[in-house]
Amino acid sequence: MSRVTPARFIAVVGAFLLVAIAAMAVAPFIGSETIHPAAAMREWLRNPDARSVDVDILIYIRLPRILAGMLAGAALAMVGALFQALLRNPLATPYTLGVASGGSFGAVVAIYLPALIPGLALSWGPIGLVQIFAFAGSLFAIVMIYMLARTGGKLSTNELLLAGVTMGLIFSALIMAARYFASPNVLRNMDIWMIGQLTGATWSDIGPLAMLVIPSIIGMLALARPLDQIALGEELAGGRGVNVARLQVGAFFLGSLATGAVVAVAGPIGFVGLLVPHAVRRIVGPGHVLLLPCVMLAGGAFLIVCDTLARSVWHAAELPVGILTALLGGPFFIGLLIRGRRTGKT
């Protein structure tokens, strides 16, 4: 990997930062309802208790969604790049290792429980039942996958992949069983959540999401140089002083915790972790010192743009952002498969 000069790092990352800032600045102006964000912000600053229509839409609906989109998109894109390097598989995504399936099963259980136990309304401060169960399901999946894949004091990438896929299939079967026995109303709530969306994001979600995602992002950024080495092979990386076992465990837990946090708040939003790392890699190259911060900013901007389009494209009803990312990512995924088949790198 060629060494990145400070000047190039600042120029490239600065350009991606401007794109992310532009996405966050423009998004409040766009939506199915026309508002005047500047006037609404002035009104709210003068009187924080003001609850006009413009203030409600800007402060309590759009701004939390934009921040949640930035955090979720940044995390998913970075985890995608991290797992592609860790597993040395260009088609790896944040959901490859089954953590999202565990979180999805936890959320499905939480949605189903009130139908079995009327009046059930567990919460932990501002965090609701679905978020608690979704994150607990993700943590359970993380522990199980780690225990299954750990051999001889380190993680085997092959066994990690197999364990993740297997746990994902088990959780998917449990989700299908829950859906089979659910009533139509409960089933609809399950399906809406599992599509993946930022519609319900509130200020109470931002704190817990940031507390898990931001430290994970910092940890992933710290792994940039070792990831460049492990991309050349575990033996070569070990010969160059990289503690491969520690790197594998750290990357797995950091990526999985970030994924679990995002799934708990937004559901399993697909394809961000596949599409963004590949697109950014074509622009800045494969070196993770430059790739990871650019992927982080591009992922956040991408999800903000997708969510803004999702809430604006159809005035009759809001389109879940997970549908839009799948519509964009699906053809991209197929293109990767075709390209890999032609070059013999699938």
Q: What is the pLDDT of residue 343?
A: 60
Q: Where are the domains of the chain?
A: 6-27+54-343
Kindly report the backbone phi and psi dihedral angles of residue 124, in degrees, each rounded to the nearest multiple of 5, phi listed first.
-130, 95
- Average pLDDT over the chain reads 86
Residue 62, amino acid: R
Token pair 């597993």 is found at: 87
Q: What is the pLDDT of residue 171?
A: 94
Higher local confidence (pLDDT), 1 or 248: 248
Higher local confidence (pLDDT), 125 or 26: 26
Higher local confidence (pLDDT), 244 or 239: 244
Average pLDDT over residues 307-316: 80
* Model confidence at 1: pLDDT above 90: no
Q: Which of 116-130, 143-157, 185-199, 262-276 has the highest average model confidence (pLDDT)?
A: 262-276
Q: Are 154 and 248 in contact (CB under 8 A)?
A: yes
Among 168, 138, 156, smallest CA distance to 249 is for: 156
Could you report the per-residue pLDDT of 36-54, keeping only the tens digit for each? Answer: 888 888 888 888 776 788 8
* String of DSSP letters for 160-187: HHHHHHHHHHHHHHHHHHHHHHS-HHHH
Average pLDDT over residues 211-222: 94
Could you report the per-residue pLDDT of 259-303, keeping only the tens digit for each? Answer: 999 998 898 998 899 999 999 998 999 999 999 999 999 999 999
* Model confidence at 341: pLDDT above 70: no
What does the buried/exposed string (b/e) look like for 273-303 if buried means 16 or more CB atoms within 10 Å of the residue's CB? Answer: bbbbbbebbeebebbbbbbbbbbbbbbbbbb
* Model confidence at 103: pLDDT above 60: yes
Alpha-carbon span 241 to 230, nearest angstrom: 11
* Model confidence at 68: pLDDT above 60: yes
Q: What is the pLDDT of residue 16?
A: 97
CA distances to 65, 193, 199, 290 from 297, rounded to whole Å, are 16, 25, 21, 11
Q: Which CATH architecture has domain 6-27+54-343?
A: Orthogonal Bundle (1.10)
Could you report the per-residue pLDDT of 15-33, keeping only the tens digit for each? Answer: 999 999 999 999 998 877 7
Q: Name the pTM for this structure.
A: 0.90
What does the buried/exposed string (b/e) look like for 215-252 if buried means 16 or more CB atoms within 10 Å of the residue's CB? Answer: ebbebbeebbebbbbbbeebeebeeeebebeebbbbbb
Could you report the per-residue pLDDT of 159-207, keeping only the tens digit for each? Answer: 888 999 999 999 999 999 988 988 888 888 888 888 888 887 888 889 8
Higher local confidence (pLDDT), 103 or 234: 103
Q: Are 131 and 264 in contact (CB under 8 A)?
A: yes
Alpha-carbon span 267 to 280, nearest angstrom: 24
Locate the DSSP E strands across 103-163. Answer: 150-151, 154-155
Q: What is the pLDDT of residue 303?
A: 95
Percentage of residues in the chain having pLDDT higher than 90? 40
